[in-house]
Structure formats: C-alpha cells, structure tokens
A and B are shown apart, each in its own frame.
Chain A
C-alpha cells in the first residue's frame, strides 16, 4: 500500500511537472471546447437582412408589437425610393452584403430580389418576407384565419451544439490522456531503466500498474470535472440530464481502454518520439472518425462503418446519451462492457510485445 502511494505520487508529480503533457491533456481539449462552444453559441440561422427601397406598404404597416417580434429574425434597412438607391441595394445583394432587396412594384406587387449563392439564407429570407405578405393578405380579408399553424421544436436540448460538443470533446480528452500517459510512461521508464530498477525492489506489479491506472483515472476525472464545469457556465449553457453521473464509470472504462492502446504503443516503440508519432497517428484520425468533433450523420457509409469499430465512437456516443439525452444504464452498460473487453484484449496483445529493456 505504501509503495502504491509513493509510486502514484512519483508518477503524478512527473506528469504535473511536464508542462507540455498538462497542456495537451488538459488545456488543449479545453481550448477546443471554448472555441467550438463560442463558435456555435449562436448557431440558429442568423438574422436575415433585407434592404427596403422606398415605401413598401405592407412592411411599413406592420404593427409595433409584431415588428418587435420580427426584429429577432429579420432586420429591415430602409432607403429612399430613388433609382440610385435601388441600384445600390441590388449591388449589395449581388455582393452578399445583404440577403435581399424589397421594393413596391406597382400597387399590389411586392418585388423581392435575392441571391441564390447561399440557398439556406435565400430560402430563409423568401420564407420570411412571404409570411409577412401572407399575413397582410389574410388581414386584408377582414376574416379570422381559417387555419393556424402551431409549430414547436422537439429535442430542443440535445440539438444545442454544446450538448454534443461536451461529451465528444471530453471523450477525446480522456482518450488522449489514456493513450499518451501510458505510452510515454512505459517508454520513458524503460529507457531510464526504472522498470528494471523496480524489478529489483520489493514491489509487486500490482502496485506499479495500480499506481499508473490510479494516476490516469485521477487525470480523467479532473478532465471531466473541468469540462463539465466550463460547459455548464451560462455562457456555454450545457444542460446536464438526470443521469449525468453515469459519465464517471464511462470515463473510467474509457480510460482503461485507451491506456491499453498506450500500453501497446509503449511496448512497441523504442523512443518517446516514436511513441508520440504512433499515438498521434492513432488518436487523431480516431477523433475525427468517431464523431467527437462533429456529427457523422452526413458522412459516407464507409466512414460510419469504420467508426463503428472505434472505441472512441462508442464512448462519445454513450457520454452524449447520459450527459445530454438523459439516458441511463441501458446506454452506458453495454459500452462499459465493450470498453473493458477491448482493454483486456489489447492489454493481452501488449503483454506479448512487452520488453523490460531495449537490449
């Protein structure tokens, strides 16, 4: 027990004093979260901008209450009705500075000029202006509307990007910590002959392996706490679902699975440089293919097939299920079992490649 504690301490100090390692395992993934989180913070399609050339009665007649509501989605810039103003407005549309130009074209005709460069924006602005026109038409009949549409978005919570980014990026951070931590540790201890030195000290392999696993678990839980702490800040607005604590056993199983990959790399690689290169080659493509950074729904089928075989895919998916979608043991248990099985198989392979020293 005492040797377990002192080895854990030695490993933890060695890790914390390695500024590059701390940066890559803690700060780097957090930078991604901060960056992506800020980028996607206002992800709802941005306000449509139109230029109104001269008087357009239905736009000028919008009641103030409705105008205030409309302001969130539609901004109207009014210019005078001169020919020069019209030409300037059309130029702005062509150059993409505004989404559309609107002008009165005869008594009952409202002209909308838009660019088709961005189909989402042009569709959006057409829909908006059309709805304003339809409402005006309807009002002009003096009858109450015959049909009314009540629309409501479902899954509003899980759609918010932070709900997707936090589990994905956290899983990626845990994967990096596990792979790099154990790979570097193994290579460095072999090179410095600490493995040999420990062989000649009265410590069991359980203490050595246990200390490494313990340090990695502590690192992974620290990553989890910091990630969730940051993401739940009002600015990012992560809403944790009821079973969010299930991410802890998931993170633990994920750590073991990724440590086994690190063990395999560390058993094979002779130098830290080789271990670093190999770890990057494995972790980086895995991160992209697992859907940790962005959803894979639009990816080609072969990508999704590859993705299904990656442990990070399943970890990220299960993390999302328990953190954001409120799922429970049903989502977490099979993944935990799979990750532990993966860890067992890869560790077995690593033990075949394991060397005590470089000789």
Chain B
C-alpha cells in the first residue's frame, strides 16, 4: 500500500495547433480529496482523461494505484470509477436498468446496484428513463454508476455543473461520504466554494499547465488574499475565456 493513488509525470497532449496539456506532473495520496481547478479550456478534462487512461499522452506517464493507465489495463479498470462530463447512459433504459447494466459489466451483483441507487436517493426514480431524469438526478445516477463496483479511486468531471443549490449540497454530502469511506476522489470544477469545502488539496491549471498545488487555505495564505476565488483570479487573470 505504498503506491500513491496517482502519479503523473510530464504529461503533454497536442491537438493540431493547440497544446491542450503542456507538461503536467502531479501526485495524489490515497484517501485524498483532490480538485483540479481552471477556467474553461485550461486543459482540466484532457488532463483527467489522460490520467484515467482514456487518451494516450504524447509524452509522459500516468500511474494509478501503482499501475500504468495506458495502454488499457482491465485489471486496473476494476479499481477505478469514472464519471464522464456528459452523462453517458444507454439510450432508452431506466435508471435501474442503467446501473444494473454497469454492475454486470463489472461483475457486481444486482443487489449492490439497487443499494447504490438507494445511496444516491434514486430508488423512487428507478423506473424512470434516462432522458426523463432531471439534471441532478442524472448526475447522481452517473455517480452511482461510477461507484457501483466499489472502486478505490473515483474520477468526477464537473459533477455539479448545471445543478441547483439544493442538488449541489446533496451531492457534496454524497461526495464527502464517498471520501470518508477511504476512497480517493479526484474532481474537476470551476466552483471555488465547492473546491474550498470539499478538497484537501487543489491544483490550479491554465493553458495546459499546473500553476499552483496546495490546500485551499494554504494557497489563500501564500498569495495573501481573502478566498480561493481570489487565488484563482490572481493566478489565471480576469479576461474572458472561450
């Protein structure tokens, strides 16, 4: 158990003219709640996708729980849970059918899938088709699908984007619970309050690079500002993105 949850070294990825990820290195300890912050187009999602093993980096390596994530490694996939930015659901399947399908892909019994649905408070919505779920319900379902096989390491890409305050707070409680059970959680977000309340440490990214890494309180102190939002704006500037 000496391996770190994530070790990324010198990740680079170029799409045509755009250097999406430009030399990212980071380490995440086991059991940590880690946030990747950055304005739109900063390279958060691409970084996360390379670390997850969804894309091959042009250079650099990413190791999860001591194993390389590229090339695709089915043994490792059992130990990580992933929620993609878009809710990736099978078309025209109900909430219960979605999670049962994912459960069986991981060889997990159906009872566990029903229990997970209960955990995210969707038992009432189990018969509802994927396109009839509200934004918050869809996010909760996709998180439940990411957690159904009890992974050690969980990746969430902007899990609270587009949710109302109630749904966000409920989701925060859920994420805290996941983390307190000993799982390592990595999320991307551009809500500073979210990062401040949830994350043990955050990395602020822009232009494909990591600008700063540290605990939110520590960053606030280092830069001599009042909040994480000020840290963010001071590091990434105030001009419009995208």
Q: How far apart sit A5 and B106, CA to CA, in the bound complex (Å)?
A: 13
Partner of B92, one of A2, A14, A197, A198: A14
User: What chain A residues lie within 8 Å of B92 (beta carbons)?
Assistant: 13-14, 17-18
Partner of A201, one of B15, B86, B102: B102
* Chain B, range 103-148, C-beta contacts under 8 Å to A: 104-107
- Measured CB to CB, the closest approach of chain B to A209, in angstroms, equals 15
Partner of A6, one of B72, B88, B105: B105
Q: How far apart sit A3 and B105, CA to CA, in the bound complex (Å)?
A: 5
Q: A194-B88, A199-B72 are in contact. Are A2 and B104 (CB under 8 A)?
A: yes
Interface check A318, CB cutoff 8 A: no
A2-B107 in contact (CB<8A): yes
B100-A6 in contact (CB<8A): yes
Q: Would you give the 0/1 interface string for A198-238, flagging 1 where the beta carbon is closer than 8 Å to chain B? A: 11111110000000000000000000000000000000000
Interface check B212, CB cutoff 8 A: no
Interface size class of B (residues with CB under 8 A): 20 to 34
| Count of residues in A whose CB is under 8 Å from the partner chain | 26
Q: A7-B101, A14-B93 are in contact. Are A199 and B106 (CB under 8 A)?
A: no
Q: A6-B100, A7-B101, A202-B105 are in contact. Are A194 and B74 (CB under 8 A)?
A: no
Interface check B97, CB cutoff 8 A: yes
Interface check B95, CB cutoff 8 A: no
Q: How far apart sit A7 and B91, CA to CA, in the bound complex (Å)?
A: 12
A193-B84 in contact (CB<8A): yes
Given A7-B105, A18-B91, A200-B77, 17 further pairs, Cβ under 8 A: A2-B107, A3-B104, A10-B90, A11-B90, A13-B97, A18-B92, A188-B91, A193-B85, A197-B88, A198-B105, A201-B77, A201-B102, A201-B105, A201-B106, A202-B74, A202-B106, A204-B74
Chain A residues in the interface with B (C-beta under 8 A): 2-3, 5-7, 9-11, 13-14, 17-18, 188, 192-194, 196-204, 359
